[in-house]
């Protein structure tokens, strides 16, 4: 029996996850679903954003379908109780260090992209984001300087083992795609990035067939808009990958289109699958959320955790066909509700 943990979370998380679940159910794959509270929903019900029962459900499952966490009512809580700590806690507890964020322009979405159609049409990349280190997991706090002013600090660091393991995934992924890897850092300023670059260069000796380039993150942000077609696999740290993937999403039409897989190894037993977006409190409860990123995350789940490539391709083809037929939520310039978009994908599932 294959069990999928459903951690729908807050805001639009439950709305989009419900559509992804419908699609998985329609495939008749003999999956069992186990729901658990996470994020603000868990905090209000159980006093903690990642209760031990939820972590148990996640650990026991063959894979995790995650929605999003974040609730404005929690923004003033002590940090350890904030909803966002749940997703950081899951990534750490499950050792999910490799975050695959594919950005592709689906046919017909040229008009939704923030870029000119001829530029947008070339987008087909994977942003590989390190997920267990960097400034998100370093020492942090508030302190008072000698002159009495308040300071906040968050320590950025990577050790060489952390860089090497994500770089290995980057090179391996590049080998399976176009033998092109772009490592994005800020080595002109940050020692963390200098170590990152040194380790990536050392490792490149093992991958002579892969053309490795390096780019500073500020330039990468600019190049993503100028000429996104130049990128195939980008490997980068936690913070830079977070920011660049949101940017890439609008180049590809909408943040509601980009799925992700978070893995602890190249092929991911109990991986976590989630759209790259957050809980979108501004549109929550209104049926406006685009469920495609969540549905495409379910496809990645089938591919990476359940070894069901054929079923994954079916879902991706159904999303593509629905879009070609004109299915559009408001973020894509249409009027469909979240569940109508789910209906359109289901109708295209063959
Ligand atoms: N992995 C996670 O659970 C993440 C959680 N968050 C949390 O989510 C909350 C909101 O954060 P924001 O910065 O506003 O980012 P967000 O990604 O939730 O929303 C940014 C903008 O994109 C729109 N948007 C997002 N997903 C959409 C979809 N599927 N369809 C249509 N429009 C969509 C929203 O309406 C909003 O205008 C915060 O509490 C944040 O910490 C943010 C990112 C990731
Ligand atoms: C909410 C954060 C913890 C992370 C984030 O923005 C993301 O993973 O995309
Ligand atoms: Mg983000």
pLDDT of residue 287: 98
Evaluate if residue 269 carries a pLDDT over 80.
no
pLDDT of residue 270: 82
Closest C-alpha to ligand 2, atom 2: 84
Ligand 1 pocket, residue 274 CB under 6 Å: yes
Residue 14 Cα to ligand 1 middle (Å)? 13
Closest C-alpha to ligand 2, atom 1: 84
Residues 156-193: tens digit of each pLDDT: 999 999 999 999 999 999 999 999 999 999 999 999 99
Q: Judge whether 1-97+255-350 and 114-251 match in fold.
A: yes
Q: Which residues are catalytic?
A: 136, 186, 218, 242, 246
What region, left, alpha or beta, does residue 72 occupy, with left being phi > 0 and alpha being psi -120 to 50 degrees?
alpha
Confidence of residue 295 (pLDDT cuts 50, 70, 90): very high
Evaluate if residue 46 carries a pLDDT over 80.
yes
Question: What ipTM does this complex have?
Answer: 0.99
Which residues have a beta carbon within 5 Å of ligand 3, which is an ion?
A: 242
Question: Taking residues 313-333, what's their average pLDDT?
Answer: 98
Q: What percent of the chain is predicted at pLDDT more than 90?
A: 98
**Token couple for 7:** 């951690």
Evaluate if residue 127 carries a pLDDT over 90.
yes
Lowest mean pLDDT among 229-238, 267-276, 291-300: 267-276
Which residue among 73, 272, 279 is best mutated to probe the pocket of ligand 1, counting the most ligand atoms within 8 A of its Cβ? 279
pLDDT of residue 268: 66
Residue 159 Cα to ligand 1 middle (Å)? 30
The residue written with tokens 């936690």 in the block is 238
Evaluate if residue 266 carries a pLDDT over 90.
no
Evaluate if residue 267 carries a pLDDT over 70.
no
E-strand stretches of 12-60? 31-35
CA distance readout (Å), 86 to 129, 264, 294: 19, 17, 18
Question: Taking residues 286-294, what's their average pLDDT?
Answer: 98
Ligand 1 pocket, residue 74 CB under 6 Å: no
Quickly list DSSP for 92-147: HHTT--EEEEEEE--TT-GGGSSS-HHHHTT-EEEEEEE-S-GGGTS-EEEEE-TT
Structural domain boundaries in the chain: 1-97+255-350, 114-251
Residues sharing a CB contact under 8 Å with residue 217, sequence separation 6 or more, in sequence order: 184, 185, 186, 236, 240, 243, 244
Residue 183 Cα to ligand 2 middle (Å)? 20
Say how far apart CA 20 and CA 67 lie, in whole Å.
Answer: 10
Residues 192-228: tens digit of each pLDDT: 999 999 999 999 999 999 999 999 999 999 999 999 9
**Token couple for 33:** 């679903």
According to CATH, what is the number of the domain 1-97+255-350? Answer: 3.40.718.10
Which residue among 50, 127, 136, 242 is best mutated to probe the pocket of ligand 2, counting the most ligand atoms within 8 A of its Cβ? 242
Sequence-separated contacts (24+) of 331-336 with Cβ below 8 Å: 331/112, 331/254, 331/255, 331/256, 331/288, 331/290, 332/109, 332/112, 332/253, 332/254, 332/256, 332/257, 332/290, 333/111, 333/112
CB 34 within 8 A of CB 48: no
Say how far apart CA 272 and CA 181 lie, in whole Å.
Answer: 24
- Spell out the CATH class of 114-251: alpha beta
Evaluate if residue 339 carries a pLDDT over 90.
yes
Evaluate if residue 152 carries a pLDDT over 70.
yes
Question: Taking residues 42-69, what's their average pLDDT?
Answer: 98
């Amino acid at each position: 029996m294959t069990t999928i943990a459903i951690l729908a979370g807050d805001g639009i998380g439950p709305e989009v996850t419900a559509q992804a679940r419908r699609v998985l159910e329609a495939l008749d794959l003999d999956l069992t679903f186990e729901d658990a509270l996470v994020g603000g929903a868990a905090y209000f019900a159980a006093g903690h954003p990642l209760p031990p029962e939820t972590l148990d459900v996640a650990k026991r499952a063959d894979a995790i379908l995650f929605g999003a966490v974040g609730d404005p009512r929690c923004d003033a809580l002590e940090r350890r109780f904030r909803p966002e700590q749940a997703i950081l806690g899951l990534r750490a507890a499950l050792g999910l260090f490799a975050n695959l964020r594919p950005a592709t322009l689906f046919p017909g979405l040229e008009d939704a992209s923030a870029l000119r159609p001829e530029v947008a049409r070339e987008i087909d990349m994977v942003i590989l984001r390190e997920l267990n280190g960097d400034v998100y997991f370093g020492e942090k706090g508030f302190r008072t300087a000698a002159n009495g002013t308040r300071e906040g600090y968050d320590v950025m660091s990577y050790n060489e083992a952390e860089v090497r393991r994500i770089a290995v995934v980057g090179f391996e992924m590049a080998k399976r795609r176009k033998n092109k890897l772009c490592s994005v850092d800020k080595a002109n300023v940050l020692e963390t990035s200098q170590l990152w670059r040194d380790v990536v260069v050392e490792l490149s000796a093992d991958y002579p067939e892969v053309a490795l380039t390096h780019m500073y993150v500020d330039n990468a942000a600019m190049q993503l808009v100028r000429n996104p077609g130049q990128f195939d696999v980008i490997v980068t740290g936690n913070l830079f990958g977070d920011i660049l993937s949101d940017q890439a999403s609008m180049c590809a039409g909408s943040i509601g289109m980009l799925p992700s897989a978070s893995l602890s190894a190249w092929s991911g037993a109990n991986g976590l699958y989630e759209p790259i977006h957050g809980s979108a409190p501004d549109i929550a409860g209104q049926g406006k959320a685009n469920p495609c990123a969540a549905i495409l995350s379910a496809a990645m789940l089938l591919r990476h955790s359940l070894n069901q490539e054929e079923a994954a391709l079916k879902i991706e083809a159904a999303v593509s066909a629905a879009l070609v037929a004109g299915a559009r939520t408001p973020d894509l310039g249409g009027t469909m509700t979240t569940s109508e978009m789910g209906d359109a994908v289901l109708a295209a599932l063959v």
